[in-house]
Amino acid sequence: MSALFTKKTFTANRFRKNNLSRFMAGALLVAIAAGCSNNKADATSNTDTIGSAQETASSAATGDNGTDATVVEALQANLNASGIEETIVSAVPTAMDGIYWVTAEGLPSFFTDKSGKHIIQGQIIAVGEGTPVDISAELTANTVQEALAAVDKEEMVIYPAVGETKAVVYSFTDADCPYCTKLHEEIDDINESGIEVRYLAWPRSQASVPKMEAIWCSEDRHAAMDQAKIGANVQAPSCDNPVQAHMELGARLGVRGTPAIFTETGQQVGGYLPAAQLAQAVGIN
């Protein structure tokens, strides 16, 4: 009973959102891509600029150099003083003096200062040494790459590439999202182009949670996914499944709509993209 209560409580909190996560989502300036949002203020971000920025990014300090425990403690204390119940995981120094890259449970990563008194969202661009460099893009991509690589393949519904695997993409998906359906209608063409698609669950509403859990609890997940994408009512006995974990992961990575498509290097390339455009986006000509 306690496990069920915890599961339902987390799901309810995911859709209600706490004050900080709602404020952060509303404050983000995003490019609107083709996708289904889970509220009026949200849309899947299309971060095409990450690719070019990452190629020229300087070696900003990441987790390899360790977190600053003093900044973590200060930020945690300031959040608690403001009545915000979030757990700070790490605060890593960046290429900008006095600015730290913060990872928190259930929130998109953000910047803070050494005092931990300010939450800073958006780009930090370094200039003065040739081509401008978006250091925030590199840090975001690194965070996403590590998080997705840590997901067990058994937890995902994977549609492998046909022949040589030229690229791998992760797609947070919802059974009730029309743009997710459009993407899945082209799954054969996507696989034929050499792209492996790894689906993670991202129900956009409370009503979609049972459908997503039924897919992941089905004996044949691929068949269940295919049926769900054409509007069939998929049912399966309840089981231990990763849907809640995927929802939490998506929240931490800043997913605000579906499909949210990421490459293995942590770049977000869409929103829905037709098969040919998706191939171009991941570098397949």
Helix, strand or coil, per DSSP, at residue 129: coil
Question: Which residues contact residue 177 at a Cβ distance below 8 angstroms, ignoring those fewer than 6 apart?
Answer: 35, 36, 204, 258, 259
CA nearest 9: which of 240, 172, 247? 247
14, 204, 252, 256: the catalytic one is: 204
| Biggest distance spanned by C-alpha atoms of the chain | 60
16 has catalytic annotation: no
22 has catalytic annotation: no
Residue 24 CA to residue 10 CA, distance in Å, equals 19
Question: Which residues contact residue 119 at a Cβ distance below 8 angstroms, ignoring those fewer than 6 apart?
Answer: 20, 24, 110, 111, 112
Element (H, E) at 90: strand 88-93
14, 68, 174, 217: the catalytic one is: 174
239 has catalytic annotation: no
36 has catalytic annotation: no
14, 177, 252, 256: the catalytic one is: 177
Question: Structure tokens of 41?
Answer: 């203020």
Q: Which residues are catalytic?
A: 174, 177, 180, 204
